[in-house]
Amino acid sequence: MIRAALMLGVLIFAGSAGEIAVTHGMKRVGEPARLRPWALLQFLGRALRNGWFWTGVPLMALSFYALLVLLSWEPISFVIPASASSYAVGTLGAKYFLGEEVNGKRWLGVLLVCAGVAIVAAG
């Protein structure tokens, strides 16, 4: 049970940290000039040269690996609902590391999504 809890922690925290690093990287890269193929290719080229992007990718890969390991230990009806708390962890990370303004309405929305995803996955 302890090893499953530890692996769940890796899944949630590495996944959220990876997404936050990628988000920070994308904010530094800046948005594409237009949503057209050439502008998107130029945007992708800039993104692939960003260090934060390459910090986030291994963390997300680690999170994915933790998901695979956890799925081999525990039933999916436990793993996916338990990992739904990553929405709340990610929101905390966005608030404290990215400086995003998370008001009461957004928090309520995030918590409803957490509960909904857990129920859909368990149901």
For another protein, the closer CB: 6 or 98:
98
For another protein, the closer CB: 6 or 108:
108
**Angle, nearest 10°, between helix axes 2-29 and 86-96?**
40
Instruction: Scan residues 2-31 and list those touching another protein (CB under 8 A).
Output: 19-20, 22-24, 26-31
Residue from 61, 71, 76, 119 that binds another protein (CB under 8 A)? Answer: 119
What is the rounded distance in angstroms from the CA atom of residue 38 to the CA atom of residue 56? 25
What is the rounded distance in angstroms from the CA atom of residue 31 to the CA atom of residue 8? 33
Q: What is the 8-class DSSP label of residue 30?
A: -
Query: To the nearest whole angstrom, how small is the minimum distance from the Cβ of residue 82 to another protein?
Result: 15
